[in-house]
């Protein structure tokens, strides 16, 4: 068990085309109710994203607690957020959060009894049915006037830049509300981010973004931002941690790394596997 304090993992499920043995192994290493839920997805891509997230959680807990892989049990709170059930070997509380969107599933994990952590990943593209202008018109109400000025400001000269800045702000908001457990039912216009570093780069972690709630800066919240690749941004929200000086870059796991140390919980299910391979990859 490595017991590292901070974990940042990513898995590119958009490029993962599992063999039948790989999928059968992966599906046998999650809880029965989660396997059932994953099986209900219409498209392969959504099933893969969710399955990878559950496997990441099991890997994180197994490597950072005294629990055997097969003894780990997860529940969901009333907002659907996963949590670890029961004792975990006397270790400090394990805090973790997962997200998936675009081609990636990501996980952020932190040890500490007072720590809150949330993560969100966004693909820097727009594929909705409305025009981008109409989409922005509808979404503007979720942003403060300062944020919208940055998203639509004169310094932003193309739709691509506007969309990237929009996605970055949305990613930050999602990471915060996931960390607090409030979800996007809160008034997002009152949550305002001040970005100090204009551009994100692949592999470089930015931590100077500030959060204001109703005009007051929340100094106990820190944010880590980076690009996983040129098309995906990710934000991690942290509270209750003294500093983010021990920054950890995202590690992109492959399938063998993801499954290292895993133990099947369920029997191999050929019918379940066959159903998965009959699905279309994505809509």
Is pLDDT larger for residue 125 or for residue 231?
231
Quick one: average pLDDT of 153-180? 89
Q: Are residues 189 and 253 in the same domain?
A: no
Q: Are residues 53 and 133 in the same domain?
A: no
Q: Are residues 131 and 180 in the same domain?
A: yes
3-state secondary structure of 196: coil
What is the rounded distance in angstroms from the CA atom of residue 155 to the CA atom of residue 188? 24
What pLDDT sits at residue 1? 40
Backbone torsions φ then ψ of 249, nearest 5 degrees: -75, 155
What is the rounded distance in angstroms from the CA atom of residue 9 to the CA atom of residue 252? 6
Q: Which two tokens stand for residue 70?
A: 């097969």
- Residues shown for the chain: 283
Q: Are residues 262 and 219 in the same domain?
A: no
What pLDDT sits at residue 2? 46
CATH of the domain at 260: 3.90.470.20
Question: At 109, which helix (H) or strand (E)?
Answer: strand 104-111
Torsion (CA) 78, 91, 251, 56 in degrees, nearest 10: -40
Q: Are residues 227 and 258 in the same domain?
A: no
Quick one: average pLDDT of 6-34? 97
**Which residues, other chains included, contact 17 with Cβ-Cβ below 8 Å and sequence gap of 6+?**
none
Q: Are residues 246 and 234 in the same domain?
A: no
Q: Which two tokens stand for residue 198?
A: 């204009």
Closest CA to 164 of 173, 175, 152: 152
Q: What is the mean pLDDT of the chain?
A: 90
What's the structural domain count of the chain? 2
Is pLDDT larger for residue 4 or for residue 191?
191
Q: Are residues 111 and 218 in the same domain?
A: no
Q: Are residues 151 and 11 in the same domain?
A: no
Q: Are residues 80 and 147 in the same domain?
A: no
* pLDDT band at residue 187 using 50, 70 and 90 as cut-offs: confident
What is the rounded distance in angstroms from the CA atom of residue 84 to the CA atom of residue 197? 35
Partners of residue 232 on adjacent β-strands:
123, 229
Quick one: average pLDDT of 52-80? 91
Domain that holds residue 193: 124-238
**What is the DSSP secondary structure assignment for residue 75, as one 8-state letter?**
E
Q: Are residues 41 and 83 in the same domain?
A: yes
DSSP secondary structure letters along 218-240: -TTEEEEEEEEETTEEEEEEEES
Q: Are residues 215 and 280 in the same domain?
A: no
* pLDDT band at residue 239 using 50, 70 and 90 as cut-offs: very high
Phi-psi region of 203 (alpha: psi -120 to 50; beta: other; left: phi over 0): left
Listed ranges 88-97, 172-181, 228-237; the one with the highest mean pLDDT: 228-237
Q: Are residues 41 and 69 in the same domain?
A: yes
Within 13 A of 56's CA, how many CA atoms are on the CB side? 29
What pLDDT sits at residue 152? 86
Is pLDDT larger for residue 20 or for residue 241?
20
What pLDDT sits at residue 133? 87
- Tell me how far CA of residue 105 lies from CA of 31, 47, 131, 145, in angstroms: 19, 11, 28, 31
**Which residues, other chains included, contact 256 with Cβ-Cβ below 8 Å and sequence gap of 6+?**
none
């Amino acid at each position: 068990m490595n017991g590292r304090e901070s974990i940042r993992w990513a898995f590119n499920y958009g490029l993962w085309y599992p063999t039948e043995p790989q999928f059968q192994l992966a599906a046998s290493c999650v809880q029965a109710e989660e396997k059932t839920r994953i099986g209900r997805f219409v498209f392969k891509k959504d099933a893969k994203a969710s399955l990878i997230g559950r496997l990441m959680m099991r890997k994180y807990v197994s490597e950072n607690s005294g629990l055997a892989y097969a003894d780990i049990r997860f529940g969901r709170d009333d907002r659907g957020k996963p949590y670890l059930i029961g004792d975990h070997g006397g270790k400090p509380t394990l805090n973790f959060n997962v997200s998936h969107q675009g081609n990636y599933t990501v996980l952020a994990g932190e040890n500490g009894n007072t720590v809150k952590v949330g993560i969100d990943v966004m693909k820097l593209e727009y594929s909705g049915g409305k025009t981008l202008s109409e989409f922005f018109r509808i979404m503007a109400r979720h942003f403060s006037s300062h944020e919208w000025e940055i998203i639509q400001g004169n310094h932003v000269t193309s739709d691509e830049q506007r969309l990237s800045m929009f996605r970055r702000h949305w990613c930050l908001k999602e990471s915060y509300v996931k960390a607090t457990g409030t979800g996007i039912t809160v008034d997002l216009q009152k949550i305002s981010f001040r970005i100090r570093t204009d551009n994100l780069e692949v592999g470089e972690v930015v931590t100077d973004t500030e959060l204001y709630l109703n005009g007051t800066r929340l100094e106990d919240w820190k944010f880590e931002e980076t690009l996983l690749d040129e098309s995906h941004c990710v934000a991690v929200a942290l509270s209750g941690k003294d500093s983010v000086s021990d920054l950890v870059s995202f590690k992109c796991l492959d399938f063998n790394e993801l499954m290292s140390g895993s133990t099947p919980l369920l029997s191999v299910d050929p019918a379940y596997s066959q159903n998965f391979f009959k699905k279309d990859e994505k809509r």
